[in-house]
Amino acid sequence: MVNYRRNKLLSCDAVYFLTLVTRDRALRFQRREDFLEIWNAMEFVREQFSVEFLAWVLLKDHLHWLICPHEADYSKVVMSFKRGTGLMFKNKLVLEKGQPLWQGRFWEHTIRDDRDYETHVDYIHYNPAKHELVQAPAEWPYSTFRRFVQAGQYQEDWANGGECRVPGDCFD
């Protein structure tokens, strides 16, 4: 087995792009309640670890996070989130005993500069349209897109009505 070492910067301002995928890419998040429970679990780990979620999107089989963990170990944040959501879905009898909700590992990329940050934010927000769940990012309710519109960082019709080539759309 390959010995993988995660990049963990000592700076409390480091930002990471994370991708968590359901086991076998199963479409586990189908109902509004599923999305809300995942969001509640995100809020729980955010408060528990004092991390900052700068941008995120939750789709039917994966989650993208742009996270600033400050003093926390982002691997522990992810582990806590995955454990909590797995138990939640088992308690709802959606998963059988021993059946994991998430793949064992997750993908991480350290954000290098402002351009890299902007590229990943765009990628996160365009992801529902890329996967043809909606025509435009504004139509997908399970992301931070609206927060970015309210902050003036996007127009409401950003990437509306057509193919939008976002650099790095190989991140999935």
Q: Is 123 a catalytic residue?
A: no
- Evaluate whether 58 touches 142 at the Cβ level (below 8 Å): yes
Instruction: From the candidates 16, 74, 123, 142, give the one annotated as an active-site residue.
Output: 142
* Angle 112-114-116 from CA coordinates, rounded to 5°: 55
Cα 165 from chain centre: 20
Q: What are the DSSP E strand ranges found in the chain?
A: 16-21, 52-58, 62-68, 107-110
Catalytic residue numbers, as ranges: 142
